[in-house]
């Protein structure tokens, strides 16, 4: 089988290997592939391995030999699934690889807002502590999280992981989810969305992006939040109306935001959050630990192996 990885760099910048795929067929790996070159690179190829390279209908129709698409991710919005099904293509993804890491990162964003460790560490290196008249200094208000309320919108595996860590920090946890259950209730108290917005000191987004959740953080929902609320999002950028959040940050209605995702990625220079007050933005790296990427690699190899054995798994 001819196997092509269209955009391998993000998954494997050099600290992993592609040996598992090489055992399954003739492998070619491209770090990145412009969309106009995809048909050429998939000419005669039966299995395409992709992360974020788009495979629209016109591209799939230009690749008659393609039988299998293996995603190096959970989301599959880069693929025209209707066209894939019409062509009889098997598409697989990698579920649940980053639960611990993404929950950890959500709390890391919150802790950075609360303590500004990176900022103050850099200030020390710049000589500001040494030059000061006092034995210590800080130039951001510091925040103790114990006793504060964390509201989690979307209380699946990742949301619950974030909730467990928050409870270890002595925070109270509220949860809003379309499918509450007893296990989740052991971690956080299920409430309505309005209750969560009104009662939370910190709001963390861990919901999937659907027509119902797109723009769930907007001018109206922010108005129903506490003054000085903190917003954390390392789920999906379009959950937030970015201009509305920027306005709320600049007015002080929202104390701070910690974001690992934005509506268009890489972030565009005119994104209003780049100039908003107290907004920490990281470049979509919640998922990118070595451990997570190794799990992605192992699962993606297993997915292709299962397909070749006639028993596909993790199909979408």
**Buried b or exposed e, range 98-109, using 16+ CB within 10 angstroms:** bbebbbbbbbbb
How confident is the model over 124-172, as pLDDT tens digits?
999 999 999 999 999 999 999 999 999 999 999 999 999 999 999 999 9
Q: Which domains does the chain have, with CATH numbers?
A: 2-97+290-308 (3.40.50.720), 99-281 (3.40.50.720)
How confident is the model over 246-279, as pLDDT tens digits?
999 999 999 999 999 999 999 999 999 999 999 9
**H helices of the chain, where?**
19-22, 38-41, 57-61, 81-86, 99-115, 117-125, 157-168, 182-185, 193-199, 219-223, 242-251, 290-308
Q: Are 151 and 197 in contact (CB under 8 A)?
A: yes
What's the confidence (pLDDT) of residue 42?
98
How many helices and strands, by DSSP H and E, does the chain display?
12, 12
How confident is the model over 18-29, as pLDDT tens digits?
999 999 999 999
- Between CA 5 and CA 69 the distance in angstroms is 10
Which residue among 116, 160, 206, 236 is the active-site one?
Answer: 236
pTM: 0.94
Identify whether 206 is a catalytic site residue.
no
pLDDT-based confidence at residue 8 (cuts at 50, 70, 90): very high
What percentage of the chain exceeds 90 in pLDDT? 99
What's the confidence (pLDDT) of residue 142?
97
Average pLDDT, the chain: 97
| Residue 45 structure tokens | 């190829």
Over residues 90-110, the mean pLDDT reads: 97
* Among 141, 161, 163, CA closest to 151: 163
How confident is the model over 226-241, as pLDDT tens digits?
999 999 999 999 999 9
- Between CA 188 and CA 172 the distance in angstroms is 8
How confident is the model over 276-290, as pLDDT tens digits?
999 999 999 999 999
How confident is the model over 45-59, as pLDDT tens digits?
999 999 999 999 999
What percentage of the chain exceeds 70 in pLDDT? 100
Which residue among 265, 268, 275, 291 is the active-site one?
Answer: 265
Over residues 31-42, the mean pLDDT reads: 97
- Torsion, Cα 57 300 309 38, to 10 degrees, reads 30
What's the confidence (pLDDT) of residue 178?
95
Identify whether 265 is a catalytic site residue.
yes
| Residue 259 structure tokens | 């974001």
What's the confidence (pLDDT) of residue 116?
97
- Torsion, Cα 21 22 25 27, to 10 degrees, reads 90
What's the confidence (pLDDT) of residue 131?
97
pLDDT-based confidence at residue 203 (cuts at 50, 70, 90): very high
Which residue among 116, 206, 255, 284 is the active-site one?
Answer: 284
Tracing tokens 């040494």 back to the chain, one arrives at 130
SS3 call for 6? coil
Q: Are strands 229-233 and 254-259 parallel, antiparallel or unpaired?
A: parallel
Q: What order do you get walking across the sheet with 149-153 strand by strand?
A: 189-190, 172-176, 149-153, 202-205, 229-233, 254-259, 279-281
Strand-pairing partners, residue 203, are 151, 231
């Amino acid at each position: 089988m001819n196997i092509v990885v269209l955009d391998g760099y993000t998954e494997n910048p050099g600290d992993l290997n592609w040996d598992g795929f090489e055992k399954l067929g003739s492998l070619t790996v491209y770090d990145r592939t412009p969309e106009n070159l995809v048909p050429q690179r998939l000419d005669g190829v039966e299995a395409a391995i992709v992360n974020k390279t788009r495979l629209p209908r016109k591209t799939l129709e230009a690749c008659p030999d393609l039988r299998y698409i293996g995603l190096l991710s959970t989301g599959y919005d880069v693929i025209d699934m209707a066209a894939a099904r019409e062509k009889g293509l098997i598409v697989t993804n990698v579920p649940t690889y980053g639960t611990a890491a993404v929950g950890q990162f959500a709390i890391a964003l919150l802790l950075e807002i609360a303590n500004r460790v990176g900022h103050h560490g850099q200030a020390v290196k710049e000589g500001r502590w040494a030059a000061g008249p006092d034995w210590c200094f800080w130039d951001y208000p510091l925040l103790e999280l114990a006793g504060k309320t964390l509201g989690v919108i979307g209380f699946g595996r990742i949301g619950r992981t974030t909730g467990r860590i928050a409870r270890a920090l002595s925070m109270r946890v509220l949860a809003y989810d379309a499918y509450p259950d007893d296990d989740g209730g052991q971690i956080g108290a299920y409430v309505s969305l309005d209750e969560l917005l009104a009662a939370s000191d910190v709001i963390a987004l861990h919901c999937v992006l659907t027509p119902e959740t797109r723009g769930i953080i907007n001018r109206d929902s922010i108005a129903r939040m506490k003054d000085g609320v903190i917003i954390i999002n390392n789920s999906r950028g379009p959950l937030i109306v970015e201009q509305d959040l920027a306005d709320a940050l600049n007015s002080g209605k929202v104390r701070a935001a910690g974001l690992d995702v934005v509506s268009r990625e890489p972030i565009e220079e005119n994104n209003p959050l780049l100039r908003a007050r107290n907004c920490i933005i990281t470049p979509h790296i919640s998922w990118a630990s070595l451990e997570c990427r190794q799990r992605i690699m192992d699962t993606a190899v297993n997915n292709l192996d299962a397909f070749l054995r006639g028993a596909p798994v993790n199909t979408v």
